[in-house]
């Protein structure tokens, strides 16, 4: 269904507190229930349980609970391009 790279990225996005499930669905076409099933299948039981408790009802994980005007799926400072010419 999904490549290992896609599964890894979906899990990473689901793990991030500020990435809403709707952003995952927009990028990968996988609804929240399937994201939860994917997380359950790929995380240890205790890790999954802790993640579920953390994200359940969390305003940042559900676009409908976010304040008006917050329409991005990640923090603006996230995914910055690193300069290849940077001196050590």
- In sign, the C-alpha dihedral spanning 9, 24, 59, 42 is negative
Q: Which one is predicted more confidently, 43 or 81? A: 43
Two tokens, residue 33: 């229930």
Q: What is the largest CA-CA distance in the chain?
A: 45
Q: What is the mean pLDDT of residues 32-44?
A: 95
Two tokens, residue 15: 């793990």
Residue 7 has pLDDT above 60, yes or no: yes
Rounded Cα distance between 62 and 82, Å, is 30
Q: What is the mean pLDDT of residues 53-74?
A: 64
Residue labelled with tokens 């300069």? 83
Q: What is the mean pLDDT of residues 36-60?
A: 89
Q: What is the mean pLDDT of residues 61-74?
A: 57
- pTM of structure: 0.67
Q: What is the mean pLDDT of residues 67-81?
A: 54
Three-state DSSP state, 33 = helix
Residue 34 has pLDDT above 90, yes or no: yes
């Amino acid at each position: 269904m999904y490549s290992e790279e896609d599964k890894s990225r979906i899990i990473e996005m689901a793990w991030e507190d500020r990435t809403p499930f709707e952003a995952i669905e927009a990028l990968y076409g996988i609804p929240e229930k399937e994201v939860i099933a994917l997380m359950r299948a790929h995380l240890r039981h205790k890790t999954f349980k802790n993640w579920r408790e953390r994200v359940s009802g969390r305003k940042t994980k559900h676009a409908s609970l976010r304040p008006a005007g917050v329409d991005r799926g990640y923090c603006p400072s996230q995914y910055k391009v690193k300069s290849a010419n940077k001196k050590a």
